[in-house]
Amino acid sequence: MLKNRIIPCLDVKNGRVVKGINFVDLVDAGDPVEQAKIYDEQGADELCFLDITASNENRNIILDTVKKTAEKCFMPLTVGGGVRTLEDIRNLLLAGADKVSINTAAVNSKNLVKESAEKFGSQCIVVAVDAKKVKENKWEIFTHGGRKSTGIDALKFVEKMETMGAGEILLTSMDRDGTKKGYDLDLTKKVSNLVNIPVIASGGVGSLEHLLQGIKIGKANAVLAASIFHFGEFSIQDAKKYLDLKGIPVRI
Amino acid sequence: MSITVIDYGSGNLKSAAKALEAAANNINLSSKIVVTADPKIIKQSDRIVLPGQGSFRDCYMGIKKIPGLSETLNEFVLVEKKPIFGICVGMQLFAKTGFESQETKGFGWIDAEVRKINNMNKKLKLPHMGWNEIELKKDNFLFSNIKNKSHMYFIHSYEFMTRQKDYVAATTNYGNSIIASVFKENIVGTQFHPEKSQKNGLLILENFLKWKL
């Protein structure tokens, strides 16, 4: 049976982890490779790097980070943040990423998702959707890390992305991101039911119960979280044991 | 031992090469791992790994585009009968025909076809993506030290189908039973990614390197 995936996400800026695990025995807590190794040992199902480097001249640092991680961690790795062109995607894949997530450019560059899915295969193209609730049962797409409104309906957008060849949707609720109040379950469920590609729930996890809700109520295929794992509150094993106990299929 | 990862412009070759390197280290095997499409180097290799990402058609066309590559691979596999390991679409290319985007010929080393996974009237999401258990079909060196029902990382929308059940080394379940690994003489392949399947995946690569034909 296919298992639900638990995906820890690391925010990386100029090659350094911004929000990371606070382990005292870590030689270099800011080194994304060191952090990735811990998640690998804990049995994470995938890893996600979000590159939040602001300046263009430092953008290539992420390639080096991906390269070093892929040499040490033999597990699936998704990398996103600032992906704008086919060349960006190619470089990340060549560095060792298995999947590349496209956010702002999926909205702004009309054919990027289609062209990249054709070129590299749908299996490695993730569309990262940042959605904000605007009224009951209506969500809108935001870009630029959630700062810019687009007026685009989120549900219509994910359907379109699937048609264009996206292999997966990474769905983040901007209302919940950073709140620790749990996923936007209405949104997650609507998107999961709408598309026939896997959906990763993201944004708002503050407890293990939230992961359970994302899968059970939100019908997500995978759940992503950052801070609950980073600050050593819970390990990946804790999350998996909890989900297993609640009857959710996970890889233990 | 010299091992060549065939480079025909398909996706993530680095991971496969690095995982082979780690596997060789784990078993104290002195190895030289090269990523190339150069027929001369391939001919001199002891074993080869054929990775594959993207569509069956693109991968096969990618191989065909490189002068002498498909001939060299045929000779390596069918005449020299040296060990080859196909990963994901690399394994699918062993089949006679693929039906992704349009009908495309494969190497035909195994009498098989590659067709889209049945999504059971949209009940199943595609790609089949993530960790799934494999069911070992028979005692096979490739899976020695691997427990039945071990989890492996899959990511594919098309499946390898053959009536020659003798060649099926492992299956997995996604709606229906899906072939997870094939095995025929000097030819082995996995639909899942051993280079992404953590410790179990490395064990499989170690077994491939230890294989004595």
- Contact yes or no for A195/A169 (Cβ under 8 A): yes
- DSSP conformation letters of B4-64: EEE-SS-S-HHHHHHHHHHHHHHTT---EEEEE--HHHHHH-SEEEE---S-HHHHHHHHH
Q: What is the mean pLDDT of chain B?
A: 95
Per DSSP bridges, beta strands A99-102 and A77-80 are parallel
- Contact yes or no for A70/B195 (Cβ under 8 A): no
pLDDT for position B9: 79
| B10 has a pLDDT exceeding 80 | no
The proportion of chain A whose per-residue pLDDT surpasses 70, expressed as a percent, equals 96
DSSP state of A3: P
Q: Which of B113, B159, B193, B206 is catalytic?
A: B193
Mapping DSSP to helix (H, G, I), strand (E, B) and coil, where does residue B189 land? Answer: strand
pLDDT for position A148: 87
State the sign of the Cα–Cα–Cα–Cα dihedral B111, B114, B115, B116. positive
Q: What is the CA B8 to chain-centroid distance, rounded?
A: 15
pLDDT for position A26: 55
Tell me the C-alpha distance between B62 and B10, whole Å: 8
pLDDT for position A21: 53
What is the per-residue pLDDT across A171-180, written as a single tens digit (0 to 9) for each?
A: 999 999 989 9
Residue A136, number of CB atoms within 10 A of its CB: 6
The side-by-side arrangement of strands in the sheet containing B32-36 is B32-36, B2-6, B47-50, B84-87, B187-190, B176-184, B168-174, B128-136, B151-156
B151 a catalytic residue: no
What is the per-residue pLDDT across B39-72, written as a single tens digit (0 to 9) for each?
A: 999 999 999 999 988 889 999 999 999 999 999 9
In a domain, A64, yes or no: yes
The number of domains in chain A is 1
In a domain, A252, yes or no: no
For residue A44, give every residue at least 6 positions away whose Cβ sits within 8 Å of its Cβ, in sequence order, or none: A6, A7, A8, A75, A236
Across the interface, whether the CB atoms of B126 and A75 are under 8 A apart is answered no
Task: Name which of B189, B193, B190 is nearest B109 in CA terms.
Answer: B189
Across the interface, whether the CB atoms of B55 and A121 are under 8 A apart is answered yes
Average pLDDT over residues B169-195: 97
Exposure string for B77-106, b = 16+ CB within 10 A, e = fewer: beeeebbbbbbbbbbbbbbeebbbeeebeb
Q: Where are the beta strands (DSSP E) in B147-195?
A: 151-156, 158-161, 168-174, 176-184, 187-190
Q: Which residues of A have a catalytic role annotated?
A: 11, 130
ipTM field: 0.94
Cα B172 to Cα A120, A223, B149, B155, B190: the distances in Å are: 25, 23, 9, 12, 11
What CATH number should be reported for the domain holding residue B143?
Answer: 3.40.50.880
Residue A19 pLDDT grade (very low, low, confident, very high; cuts 50, 70, 90): low
- Contact yes or no for A246/A12 (Cβ under 8 A): no
Helices A154-164 and A185-194 pack at an angle, to 10 degrees, of 30
Residue B138 pLDDT grade (very low, low, confident, very high; cuts 50, 70, 90): confident
- Contact yes or no for B102/B204 (Cβ under 8 A): no
Cα A178 to Cα A202, A224, B117: the distances in Å are: 10, 13, 38
pLDDT for position B33: 96
In a domain, A152, yes or no: yes
What CATH number should be reported for the domain holding residue A124?
Answer: 3.20.20.70
| A24 has a pLDDT exceeding 90 | no
Residue B136 pLDDT grade (very low, low, confident, very high; cuts 50, 70, 90): very high
Across the interface, whether the CB atoms of B196 and A45 are under 8 A apart is answered no
Across the interface, which of A123, A198, A251 has its CB nearest the CB of B156? A123
pLDDT for position A28: 65
Q: Provide Rg for chain B, Cα atoms.
A: 16
Tokens of B171: 């299956």
What is the per-residue pLDDT across A155-205, written as a single tens digit (0 to 9) for each?
A: 999 999 999 999 999 999 999 998 999 999 999 999 999 999 999 999 999
Residues forming a β-bridge with A170: A128, A200
Residues in chain B with CB shorter than 8 Å from the CB of A167 are 127, 129
DSSP state of B79: I
What is the per-residue pLDDT across A52-72, written as a single tens digit (0 to 9) for each?
A: 887 777 888 999 999 999 999
Residues forming a β-bridge with B113: B97, B161
Q: In this structure, what are the phi and psi dihedrals at residue A218, rounded to the nearest 5 degrees?
A: -75, -15
Average pLDDT over residues A237-250: 98
In a domain, A196, yes or no: yes
What is the per-residue pLDDT across B144-181, written as a single tens digit (0 to 9) for each?
A: 999 999 999 999 999 999 999 999 999 999 999 999 99
Q: Is A244 exposed, middle or buried (0-12, 13-18, 19+ CB in 10 A)?
A: middle
For residue B129, give every residue at least 6 positions away whose Cβ sits within 8 Å of its Cβ, in sequence order, or none: A123, A167, A168, A198, A221, B154, B155
pLDDT for position A119: 87
Range of the domain at B193: 2-210
Task: Name which of A187, A126, A186 is nearest A162 in CA terms.
Answer: A126
pLDDT for position B125: 97
The number of domains in chain B is 1
Chosen for mutation from B8, B15, B191, B205 (greatest number of chain A CBs closer than 10 Å) is B15
